Chain A
Amino acid sequence: MCVTCGCGDTDGATMTLHEVEHEHEHVHADGTRHTHSHARGIAGVPFRQDTLGPAHVHLHETLPVRESFQVHESLQVHETDSVQEAELSVPGRDERTIQLEAQILGKNQLTAERNRGWLSAKNILALNLVSSPGAGKTTLLERTLTDLKAELPISVVEGDQATSNDAERIRATGVPAVQINTGTGCHLDADMLERALAALKPRSASLLMIENVGNLVCPALFDLGERAKVVIFSVTEGEDKPLKYPHMFAAARVLLLSKTDLVPHLRFDTERALANALAVNRRLEVFRLSAFSGEGLPQWYGWLKSEFAACRGAPP
């Protein structure tokens, strides 16, 4: 498994398209793209590390000896295809310090941007659906596909640790789907989506729904190249879930409050739950819906159609 997605050394993410199962081994050679801006350092002035100020002045105490404070007079703004490094030679020392300035998730980000460009060029609206396990992502997706497939060409990428059950449920609606099994991995990454796109070959001017692994933590950190993250929050969860898992709610653009048909049977305070979500991310667009009763679905479909139209007219 790759360095950004997983926990196992030997188990690659598995992709299943229809009946054909592929094993993919991928080892990342990190040619990390890097965009970074620095305030210019003040040459000749010794600074301690702890004087690093809010302007992110780039002065380092890189060596264990007091007299060797290093002043790294850095570029003001640079954008290159590789990790920036400046090698400092230190007379009398056995060690060499190399400035890296590498974004740890840079490789994933680079692939995500490539995916985004590819999707945009083909006028494909890609949405990354995220939630806890059991919030109703697949059920909502089945209903959405059934209701919209006559109007919009749609395809689906399904992510789960194991089984191709969800892709089979999606295919039963007549929509093409590819299943990614992440093995021990807890989220999809941009590389997995890139390979899924190659297998799925979604048509131009279509809607691509990516159902991420059920997990409210890790998928928040990994951009896939989608136009937006859609977080699904069901009324059978606690109202404070957005406060407990703020990163996902902060990363999402749309919140679907699902299973609203169950509210009469629960002690769920809808207004408090939504207030919590909006406290984390005041720009969230909120839809309340039930895939079972159909309540709220027209508004959700309306958003999908307008976003689809916008995607065809403008870059994300």
Chain B
Amino acid sequence: MHELSITRSVVAIVAERAAGQKVTRVRLEIGALSAVMPDAIRFCFGICAADTPLAGAVLDIDEIPGLGICNDCGTEVNLTALIGRCPECGTANLRLTAGQELNIKEMELASCA
């Protein structure tokens, strides 16, 4: 269950950048082939955020679909797993171009005014 440790990492990074200010929203980018389940991150987020500047913050997750390029014929291939074949030439010689993202994109701070 690495999602719990990954969520802790998200909370730690955001809390540090917030420097004590209240965080109202966090946006993550998670690739479909990153081995991290967005639902598990959502489940963990409320627990990890409690008693931190992120308590009560909204979590948005952009899920990035898997995409590859066929090394043989150059066709762009949609990938739902790490295993795939080119629909044009049938080869398994694919290079992953998207879907392994695991990033914090942005955070929103409550006004300190």
Would you call B4 an interface residue if the criterion is a C-beta within 8 Å of the partner chain's C-beta atoms?
Answer: yes
Would you call B42 an interface residue if the criterion is a C-beta within 8 Å of the partner chain's C-beta atoms?
Answer: no
Using an 8 Å CB-CB cutoff, how does the interface string of A209-236 with B read, 1 for contact, 0 for none? 0000000011011000000000000000
Q: In the complex, which residues of chain B have a beta carbon less than 8 angstroms from the beta carbon of A187? A: 2
Q: Count of A residues near B, CB < 8 Å?
A: 43
Q: Please tell me if the beta carbons of B9 and A104 are within 8 angstroms of each other in the complex.
A: yes
Chain A residues 93-121 with CB under 8 Å of chain B are: 93-107
The 8 Å CB contact of A94, one of B9, B13, B103, B110, is B110
Q: Please tell me if the beta carbons of A104 and B110 are within 8 angstroms of each other in the complex.
A: no
Q: Please tell me if the beta carbons of B5 and A100 are within 8 angstroms of each other in the complex.
A: no
Q: Please tell me if the beta carbons of A100 and B107 are within 8 angstroms of each other in the complex.
A: yes
Would you call A199 an interface residue if the criterion is a C-beta within 8 Å of the partner chain's C-beta atoms?
Answer: no
Q: Please tell me if the beta carbons of B106 and A99 are within 8 angstroms of each other in the complex.
A: yes
Q: Please tell me if the beta carbons of A246 and B82 are within 8 angstroms of each other in the complex.
A: yes
Q: Please tell me if the beta carbons of B8 and A101 are within 8 angstroms of each other in the complex.
A: no
Q: Please tell me if the beta carbons of B105 and A101 are within 8 angstroms of each other in the complex.
A: yes
- Expressed in whole angstroms, the Cα–Cα distance for A94 and B10 within the complex equals 23
Q: Write the residues of chain A forming the contact surface with B, with a CB cutoff of 8 angstroms.
A: 3-7, 28-30, 32, 54, 60, 62, 83, 85, 93-107, 185-187, 217-218, 220-221, 243, 246-247, 250, 279-280, 282
B87 to chain A, nearest CB (A): 16
Q: In the complex, which residues of chain B have a beta carbon less than 8 angstroms from the beta carbon of A185? A: 5
Given A187-B2, A279-B83, do A100 and B105 touch, yes or no (CB 8 Å)? yes
B78 to chain A, nearest CB (A): 12
Q: In the complex, which residues of chain A have a beta carbon less than 8 angstroms from the beta carbon of B11? A: 3
Q: Please tell me if the beta carbons of A6 and B5 are within 8 angstroms of each other in the complex.
A: yes
A13 to chain B, nearest CB (A): 12
A73 to chain B, nearest CB (A): 15
The 8 Å CB contact of B13, one of A30, A60, A221, A279, is A30
Q: List 29 A-B contacts (CB under 8 A).
A: A3-B9, A3-B12, A4-B5, A4-B9, A7-B1, A54-B67, A83-B17, A94-B110, A96-B108, A96-B109, A97-B25, A97-B108, A98-B106, A100-B14, A100-B17, A100-B106, A101-B105, A103-B104, A104-B10, A104-B28, A105-B6, A105-B102, A186-B2, A187-B2, A217-B2, A246-B83, A279-B83, A280-B83, A282-B93
The 8 Å CB contact of A100, one of B82, B83, B104, is B104
